[in-house]
Amino acid sequence: MKQLSRDDYNALREGATVIEADRYGDKVLLLSDGTYLKLFRVKRLFSSAVFYPYSKRFVKNVSKLVEKGIPTVTVIESYRIPSIRRTAVHYYPLTGKTLRKLGTLDLIITEKLGKFIRELHDKGIYFRSLHMGNIVISQENRLGLIDVSDMKVYKQQLSEELRLRNFQHLARYTEDTGQLKPHFHSFLQAYLKPKDSKGLEMKIRGILF
């Protein structure tokens, strides 16, 4: 992780567009060259985030997704910026559109999404930020993940309990579950496999609707 002075940080963000911010300041910047800078606040002096900041987790998670063949962003550099009590990750975006921006999903994309989430779960990926705003359909018509700082990768495929818990994250966003409604049965059929328990379909249906 490279240390960045206040002057260097200001130079890096010159001409940037603020994509996301909260009451504490900027969170995501679109830089003038089309790359992104994601900022992580160090909340307390004595916390695990000081020694293992979320920026490192972000970089590590990107590496794990690449290893498992899941499209995601491309990291350029990570920074520690003491002058503003932030760490940051500079990266190339995953080009394409988020599923949320597509609005209602057609049958093909809905089935593709069911298969994609199944792939994540079978590869042991528990993506806590599972929602349509973090799933991108690329120019190559592949689905991938962005905003990957909050993720855990298990050595084995996810248990049924973890699968259902992951769907609960998606269920918090009614606009996202609404995108699934027109072809929800097809989504489930794309996700499910013969070896699944008979009740899994009903449990997922109960969580999302």
Res 50 pLDDT > 70: no
pLDDT tens, residue by residue, 82-120 = 999 999 999 999 999 999 999 889 999 999 999 999 999
Q: What is the pTM of this model?
A: 0.91
Query: What's the pLDDT at 27?
Result: 95
How many angstroms separate the CA atoms of 139 and 189, rounded?
A: 25
Q: What is the mean pLDDT of residues 182-201?
A: 96
Query: What's the pLDDT at 45?
Result: 56
Domains of the chain: 2-92 (3.30.200.20), 97-208 (1.10.510.10)
Query: What's the pLDDT at 48?
Result: 54
Query: What's the pLDDT at 29?
Result: 98
Q: Provide the β-strand partners of residue 137.
A: 97, 143
How many angstroms separate the CA atoms of 171 and 204, rounded?
A: 10
pLDDT tens, residue by residue, 15-37 = 999 999 999 999 999 999 999 99
Q: Which residue has the tokens 């130079």?
A: 11
Query: What's the pLDDT at 53?
Result: 84
Which are the contacts of 179, defined by CB distance < 8 A and separation ≥ 6? 99, 100, 102, 103, 104, 105, 132
pLDDT tens, residue by residue, 118-170 = 999 999 999 999 999 999 999 889 999 999 999 999 999 999 999 999 999 99
Which are the contacts of 136, defined by CB distance < 8 A and separation ≥ 6? 71, 94, 95, 96, 97, 98, 99, 143, 144, 145, 146
How many angstroms separate the CA atoms of 145 and 20, rounded?
A: 18
Res 6 pLDDT > 90: yes
Q: What's the one-letter identity of residue 43? A: K
